[in-house]
Amino acid sequence: MTVMRALPATMSYAVGFGVSSFTAPPTHLRSRRFVIVKVSAEPSDKSVEIMRKFSEQYARRSGTYFCVDKSVTSVVIKGLADHKDSLGAPLCPCRHYDDKAAEATQGFWNCPCVPMRERKECHCMLFLTPDNDFAGDEQVISMEEIKELTVNM
C-alpha cells in the first residue's frame, strides 16, 4: 500500500481520458486487462490554475521574475500541479525522490522549497532573481500561454 502511494501518478490507466489519475477503472475492465500504461498524467486544469496564481503571487512577493523562455515556466507550473494532484502537495518537479509521499509530508521540497525561501535559489528556473542571465522582466503568465507552450507534452 505504501509502495503504491510512493510511486508517482504516472501509472494512470488509459481507459478513460477525463478521469483523474487516482480513480481506478471499473472492476470489469480491471480484471480483463492487466496492462498498466505508464503515461504521465496531465494535471487537472484546476490545479494548474492554482499553481499559476501561486507562481505569479510568489514572484511578486519575492521580487523574482519568470524565465525569458516561458515554456520552462509553463512546464514547471504543470509539474507542480501534477504533484499537487497526486500527492496533495506541490513537490518540486525538478528533483528525483526516493519516497515522494514522505517528502511531501516532510515539506523541505514543497514549493516554495527551503532553498528558495532562504536564498532565493530556484533550480527549476521558475523564480529567477533579476541578476540571473535567464531572467525575463515578467511576473505574470496566462493560462493560454501555459496551454500553448505545453501542447505537445
Partner 1 sequence: MLLASTPFSFYAPPKLLLQPSPPLKTRDVATIFSTTTKSPISLLQSPPRRLLATPPPGKFLRQDYLVKKFSAKEIQELMKGERNVPLVIDFYATWCGPCILMAQELEMLAVEYESNAMIVKVDTDDEYEFARDMQVRGLPTLYFISPDPSKDAIRTEGLIPLQMMRDIIDKSL
Taking CB under 8 A as the criterion, the residue among 19, 20, 40, 54 binding partner 1 is: 40
DSSP assignment string, 21-35 = SSSPPPHHHHHH---
Give least dist CB 18 to partner 1, A: 20
Q: Is 94 a catalytic residue?
A: yes
Give whole-number Cα distances, 34 to 3, 12, 132, in Å: 19, 12, 48
Nearer to partner 1, 31 or 129 (CB): 129
111 near partner 1, judged by CB under 8 A:
no
Applying CB under 8 A, the span of 18-26, 57-65, 93-101, 138-146 interacting with partner 1 comes to: 93-101
Q: Which is nearer to partner 1, 73 or 139 (CB)?
A: 73
Integer Rg of the chain from CA:
17
Query: With binding defined as CB under 8 A, does residue 147 bind partner 1?
Result: no
User: How many residues are listed for the chain in this entry?
Assistant: 153
CA distances from 96 to 2, 33, 61, 77, 87 (A): 18, 30, 28, 17, 14
Per CB under 8 A, 67 contacts partner 1:
yes
Q: Which is nearer to partner 1, 52 or 78 (CB)?
A: 78
133 phi, psi to nearest 5 deg? -60, -30
CA-CA distance, 121 to 136, in Å (whole number)? 16
Binding residues vs partner 1 (CB under 8 A)? 7-8, 10, 38, 40, 67, 69, 71-76, 78-80, 82, 93-96, 98, 123-126, 153
**What residues act catalytically?**
94
